Amino acid sequence: MKILGIETSCDETGVAIYDDKQGLIANQLYSQIKLHADYGGVVPELASRDHIRKTVPLIQAALKQANLTASDIDGVAYTAGPGLIGALMVGASVGRSLAYAWGVPAVAVHHMEGHLLAPMLEDNPPAFPFVALLVSGGHTQLIKVTGIGEYALLGESIDDAAGEAFDKTAKLLGLDYPGGAKLSKLAEQGNTSRFHFPRPMTDRPGLDFSFSGLKTAAANTINLQKQDLDEQTKADIARAFEDALVDTLLIKSRRALDQTGFNRLVIAGGVSANKTLRSKLAQLMAERKGQVYYPRLEFCTDNGAMIAYAGMIHLKASQFADLAIEVKPRWPLSEL
């Protein structure tokens, strides 16, 4: 059984084909970073227009990569939310229309479930149950996962997501968009003891996050140092910011593991590519004699492979979309 997956929730157009026997057999991705760089962030209308231009050519490229034709496809999965409504509508319209034209089922996939299941694409996938830390530009969530579709929200950000805080702080430091990865690279040269930022909401019980205050602390420090904001000072601020954010994620993840009693941790989403975060979580799980799981770097950011895999799971469970094309810009994972 083979399924085509389409991801168009934000600023990456991803198309992939997953075979339930062979695994991932095609993966195509186009990033809109250059398109949005001049604006310092994603422009929704431009994102939608670019998805219109790129989705069908990427589908054709994926079929060619897998040496398949439309008649070989058993289902079409597409991201139905959450995300930018215009961008979602492009993928959903193309995906649902193709499924109708090809006479195969369509599957509407939750974007965050795709991220949560991305480590299942690896050779050593996690077994259930586990705690999932989903960290991206739009979401920061801790999820209790006991099986496919069995997701309980433990905590989430009440304001900025972790990736959003990374990008906004990077912009304050004068780094080009998207700045999160550039900030982390700069932090490698930073002095760990020069600046210290708060670890938000770690002095109280609970598993929710807040990163707006951390961003403000960084902004105030940058403003105080503006007369002497050389490259080393920028690196020192970047290091203090990254350490504070990573420590916060670490503390909350430890609490979630304690609360659930689980010894497996999955981390996914764009921020899961952060080297410092990976290192500290690996150390945490080693101390607990548990295991931590990540998707490979190419599957940390938005991609069609995770949508194709999640779509295959739902296809086998006969969970199909009807003919109406419906997307959900806001869609709690707990509703699945």
Q: Letter for the amino acid at 160?
A: D
Residue 264, classed as helix, strand or coil, is strand
- DSSP H stretches of helix in 197-274: 212-224, 231-260
Here the tokens at position 215 are: 């961003």
Which H helix or E strand runs over 57? helix 44-65
Known binding site: residues?
A: 111, 115, 134-138, 167, 180, 274, 302
Question: DSSP character for 174?
Answer: T
Could you tell me which residues are annotated as the binding site for Fe cation? 111, 115, 302
In angstroms and rounded to an integer, the radius of gyration of the C-alpha atoms of the chain is 20
Sign of CA pseudo-dihedral 225, 229, 232, 235: positive
Strand ranges (DSSP E) for 8-149? 12-19, 23-31, 75-81, 106-110, 130-135, 140-147
> Which of these, 238, 245, 244, 243, lies nearest to 190 by C-alpha position?
238
CA atoms of 69 and 64, how far apart (whole Å): 8
Within 10 Å of residue 306's Cβ, how many Cβ atoms?
34
Distances (CA, A) of 68 to 49, 61, 107, 220: 27, 10, 20, 56
Treating both helix axes as pointing N-terminal to C-terminal, what angle do 275-287 and 231-260 enclose, rounded to 10 degrees? 30
Specify binding-site residues for substrate. 134-138, 167, 180, 274
Residue 312 and residue 319: Cα distance in Å, rounded? 10
